[in-house]
Amino acid sequence: MSSDEAVIQYLKDSGIADAADLWARKDGAREMLAKNSATAISDGVFGVPSFVIDESLYFGNDRLEFLIEEHAA
């Protein structure tokens, strides 16, 4: 892709109606991913899905019941 316009057209041709808006928001995505990754590592996350709630780490679909039970309103 040689230009922003080419990327936008490709996205539109692929059926993404709001391609221009999505492309305009691309700046900062790499930095956000790096920040989120660093936070996950410091929280002890080691796989997907992982949830950190009130400093407790829950990993795996089979642990969602524990998460819900412990943090039910």
Over residues 29-62, the pLDDT tens digits come to 678 778 888 999 998 888 888 888 888 888 887 7
* Total domain count, the chain: 2
Place of tokens 């936008």: 8
The verdict on 55 and 24 lying in the same domain is no
The verdict on 24 and 49 lying in the same domain is no
- For the segment 13-41, the average pLDDT, to the nearest whole number, is 81
List C-alpha distances in Å: 31 to 9, 13, 27: 25, 28, 9
The verdict on 11 and 28 lying in the same domain is yes
Place of tokens 């950190």: 52
The answer to whether 63 touches 50, Cβ cutoff 8 Å, is no
What is the three-class DSSP state of 68? helix
> pTM of the entire structure?
0.50
The verdict on 3 and 34 lying in the same domain is yes
Give the range of the structural domain holding residue 28, as residue numbers without chain letter: 1-38
